[in-house]
Amino acid sequence: MASKAPSAARSERDNGRARASRGAADKAYRGLRGLLVKGSFQAGSHLREELLAKRLGVSRTPVREAVRRLAAEGWLEIVPNQGAYVCDWSRHDIEEVFALRAMLEGYAAESAARQASDAQVAELLDLSTRAKTLLPGTAIEDVEQIAELNDRFHKLILEASGQRRTAVTVSHLVELPITLRNFHQFTAADMERSVSQHQAIVDAIAGRDPAWAGAVMRAHVLSGKAIFMERIGLPPAGPGDREAAPGADTSGDADPPA
């Protein structure tokens, strides 16, 4: 069999290297993003390339690319001549993210009330009912199951809405460290309120009432912000704070995170 021409062989080698490089970069990105999602680094932490490369099992070059991507997404801040730092979140940042979530998820709930299939409505009801059977949710295994059901519930509403761009945007907002929900800190009353709010959302969608569905979802998300702020110990907004993002809730009602 004739050997491949030198130019073809070089091209194949180059393509192989490119695929390997992309694979390493993707591995570094997914690995580092996963660590950030889990809260493995405190806000303000300095991330050193050599340590990240060792932890992620890649070389420093893909780590550098992953850091640039995550900085563009708002997870990290790159300081010239110093390196990358995990972003710290101000009160204004938190207000903005929760306001965006309330608007987008409220819009998705409205769309779901119009477009959800009967099967999707039935699944939403099933998810809500299963969570209710796990109350008061004090055992660790029950908490973990409720957290999984909660995540599926919100994702299913986004799917049922048919709004793909909205779903992609919300997925990034929900995974940011300032909105990751820690059900292990919930009280029994927190759990019960959260599940009952989900039931109200299901009732609105099943009733094909977009205005009701949107209003309940917005209240659900915004009330979650209050308890989030309380849990992380942020002081009340002062005169020097920037104005809250449009739609942000400032009522101080303490209900569980969405």
Q: Residue 32's pLDDT band (boundaries 50, 70, 90)?
A: very high
pTM of the model: 0.65
Structure tokens at 17: 């290297």
Q: Residue 180's pLDDT band (boundaries 50, 70, 90)?
A: low
Q: What is the pLDDT of residue 187?
A: 74
Q: Residue 2's pLDDT band (boundaries 50, 70, 90)?
A: low
Q: Which of 85-94, 140-149, 224-233, 247-256 has the lowest mean pLDDT?
A: 247-256
Domains and CATH numbers, the chain: 13-86 (1.10.10.10), 91-231 (1.20.120.530)
CA 226 from centroid of its chain's CA atoms: 18
Q: Residue 176's pLDDT band (boundaries 50, 70, 90)?
A: low
